[in-house]
Structure 1
């Protein structure tokens, strides 16, 4: 026996259990009829009847509310159809309750026939609605203008009220003081039972398409509705135990319908949202791991490139120019590689702590280009904030060039020197990077625009083209470079 067959057998075993539970009270009454059968007095019965009908009306209105107000989001046509049908059922059940014997007259004198006529019409309307609902699909937005679906239950309720209240003689008699329930009443109950059985069968064929969890509560509800109509077909007075049992069956039935509607319109969408969130969470974790792996491999690749360049340069041991170029390339690679390493180790895949980055990059640059004859002191005033890696990499390349120039050229004869790096966001919504040293500086007439220095050209090109910034150099002693650029040139992408 395969799994699908096992599930099917289990489902129908549940149906058998519900059938047994529904039939058990009737069997008990039949077996112990002389002991349990009774006919209630009118006052206590009216209290029970009003409570039972009020509860049914509230549940029906709740079904209508769920179906009507969730349709815009769920587009569940089946629930909307059942909800509007239950609105008509609730209105006619209220007429039945108010027209009951012992209640104040509902415009015209109340009588058992009046309340029973209301009852037959509303039960017939409910059975037909349940049968039709079996053929209404779920979640396809069938009713583009949902207000039009109110026409049928609204018209049925209006015509029922007018017909039973003012023209009862035009309708078949359902209860007579002389004979009790009329033949028409009993036949009507069996017709309603027949329609409910058809609805039960029709819902059986919804299971393969819409699933057992969306269908089972309706099947259970129709079982209790069938038993409700069955006991209403055999009671002798409107106050006996069968009548009471019938109303209890009815309450159970509508509670089960409400459960089915609630699951379709509220539980299922929320479950789908939770499942989607879980899928998205897993996908996000996978994406983060993939991006981290990309950063890790990029870092490794950059290190390999640097090593290959260095190895290639070993073939020219007598060329200091090539060695200088190789060291500069390695410094630039390190400036980029450090960003990838920080991104890989951090939680944020888009941003880097600029203070940590500048600190590590500066220490690396000073150590790798150390000058034993000059002791350099580094002072930093960096805002502790995160910047997108699109901004950090250009800043790193610029600082790498500036630090290298300071170490190599700013202190040719000095025994010590000071380097200062400042980074902050100004009130003008621009970032400001200020680099300075107290070395020999630049000649007063030095032309930075037309200079042949690759480092200076890189600084100007990166600042102006990648950061859309402005560069200002100070000539004379104590070199200074100030760069300011917009704080919104790049957007977060990861």
Structure 2
């Protein structure tokens, strides 16, 4: 039934065009001017349609990327050029390069028919993505122009070798009949292949293409007998080809694009709705009048209000405490002026009036024209976080009290030990033992000072290393009764990050090296300078330098094989406790350089 309907439609079009052509043929009986006018008019209409088919496929290719449509468009571009040469070669037209004649015009016509039927046959085997490296605009355009130029030059340079379509009496020749028969059979085969392609692909634009090819086949068959009817049938056929190209190059791609956009919009809307409804945080949308327009499930869970209860009501009247309403308005105005609010902690109200700690992020909502249409509030329940923070604060306070008490007790115990050593030294008459007691007491004092500094500090993770070293060295000066007028003290201590694990061995090292300088570097009335440098040298590394310009120590001394307890302690503390490197420089006096890592 469907095939019959298509056949009837084509038959109706053919009959209509033939009768209309016969009606126009009657004007040939009038003046030659009127006859030529109608001839040119019926020739121009197919030309316009041929070039329109080319134009629509050429300019739509960037969006459609349809190689089949592009190939057909270029095919009809070649046909249009040859048909233009055909029209320009009529006897009543000005001579087109060589002398015009009806034989010349019909030679261009048959050239166009032969080239077109074979190109259309090739087009059957070309699909949307066939030969992407060959079928493209530059190559096809160059090929079309080349083919048109070759056809024209063949006509002008070798006219005697071209088939004669007409006899001297202007009747169709036997050669012309054979050529029409061959091109007609090729055209019929092409139409048959396109019907198979239609069944295989279901592409509806091929129906219009088949209509057009049937009408073009009919036009080719009767043109040499009834030229007006032939031209009109050709125009009708090209019109259906144009419709097919419009559907495949514009209507279908843009229809698919519209469908895709619609599907993407639906998917995006569903995703947004799922995200909105299933978000762990409350999401509340309000308009510029603070009226609630959206209220998700988490908002229901956090505040206790159902969506139906809040839509259309003012947000500030439901969850904002009365004393914070003005602040809410200020925040709203700030957001509308372009200053977003992120991670703002506040206390809001539940439906039962109980307070709830929340963190809020407020941002503007804009329409497609970038006009502000409302506000989006993302609210997170931070009740558990606040409880945890309070527990941490309470725990830290308890630990600070405990640590302060520990440092205080350690310092006191060390002071007791130091006092016991002083008391014990008073009962000794041996100067060697008295010196040992003093050195031990100074070592204990260096450690006790750390705990005293921590006890006095507000931050147990950071030690006032500058104050610590200054107090430590001043204590040693007093212990040995040395005046700074004899040994000048040069302290260059940066505020470097040192933890208690490094501060205690660092203090002991300074204690030993300063003690060693005071005892041995400046004998008798010799004066000099004691320098202590502590600074950062990058990559979380710290350098301690203790030097003096005194008499120095033996140049062959091996720090890893010394009899002095003090220097042995310095080496052990530097390498084992501080996990650093120690270097001894004896060029000018004595200089110890110790490099170790800062806070780990």
Deviation of residue 116 (structure 1)?
A: 0.3
Deviation of residue 145 (structure 1)?
A: 4.1
CA distance in 1 between counterparts of 2:18 and 2:227 reads: 15
Residue in structure 2 matched with residue 384 of structure 1 by the alignment: 332
CA distance in 2 between counterparts of 1:257 and 1:58 reads: 13
TM-score normalised by the chain length of structure 1: 0.59
Deviation of residue 288 (structure 1)?
A: 3.5
Deviation of residue 57 (structure 1)?
A: 1.7
CA distance in 2 between counterparts of 1:50 and 1:102 reads: 10
For 1:176-197, what per-residue CA distance to the aligned partner results, in whole angstroms no more than 9, with x for missing partners? 3335221111221122211110
1:343 to 1:257, Cα distance in 2 relative to 1, 3 A: farther
Q: How many residues align?
A: 340
Residue in structure 1 matched with residue 390 of structure 2 by the alignment: 454
The counterpart of 1:273, out of the listed 257, 279, 302, is 257
1:43 to 1:119, Cα distance in 2 relative to 1, 3 A: same
Instruction: Please tell me whether Structure 1 or Structure 2 has the larger radius of gyration of its CA atoms.
Output: 2
For 1:351-372, what per-residue CA distance to the aligned partner results, in whole angstroms no more than 9, with x for missing partners? xx9xx65664332xx7xxxxxx
CA distance in 2 between counterparts of 1:208 and 1:393 reads: 60
The counterpart of 2:220, out of the listed 229, 233, 237, is 229
Q: Spell out the pairing of 1:207-286 with structure 2 (5 A cutoff).
A: 207-233=198-224, 235=225, 242-286=226-270
Residue in structure 2 matched with residue 133 of structure 1 by the alignment: 123
The counterpart of 2:4, out of the listed 13, 17, 35, is 13
Residue in structure 2 matched with residue 109 of structure 1 by the alignment: 99
- Indicate conservation of the 8 Å contact 1:22/1:227, yes or no: no
Residue in structure 1 matched with residue 163 of structure 2 by the alignment: 172
The counterpart of 2:172, out of the listed 181, 185, 197, is 181
For 1:91-138, what per-residue CA distance to the aligned partner results, in whole angstroms no more than 9, with x for missing partners? 111100100121111121111100000000001111111111111102
Deviation of residue 275 (structure 1)?
A: 1.0
Residue in structure 1 matched with residue 37 of structure 2 by the alignment: 47
The counterpart of 1:287, out of the listed 271, 289, 314, is 271
1:339 to 1:112, Cα distance in 2 relative to 1, 3 A: farther
Residue in structure 1 matched with residue 61 of structure 2 by the alignment: 71
TM-score normalised by the chain length of structure 2: 0.49
Gaps of at least 5 residues in structure 1 are: 1-8, 236-241, 301-332, 348-352, 367-375, 402-406, 408-422, 426-451, 459-494
Q: Spell out the pairing of 1:279-358 with structure 2 (5 A cutoff).
A: 279-295=263-279, 337-338=302-303
CA distance in 1 between counterparts of 2:299 and 2:114 reads: 82
Gaps of at least 5 residues in structure 2 are: 284-297, 350-354, 356-361, 365-387, 395-600
1:267 to 1:334, Cα distance in 2 relative to 1, 3 A: closer
Alignment RMSD, CA only? 4.3
Relative contact order: is structure 1 or structure 2 higher (C-alpha 8 Å, sep ≥ 6)? 1
Deviation of residue 224 (structure 1)?
A: 0.5
Higher mean alpha-carbon deviation, 63-72 vs 87-96, is at: 63-72
CA distance in 2 between counterparts of 1:148 and 1:344 reads: 68
CA distance in 2 between counterparts of 1:377 and 1:162 reads: 90
1:346 to 1:130, Cα distance in 2 relative to 1, 3 A: farther
CA distance in 1 between counterparts of 2:100 and 2:27 reads: 24
- Indicate conservation of the 8 Å contact 2:111/2:151, yes or no: yes
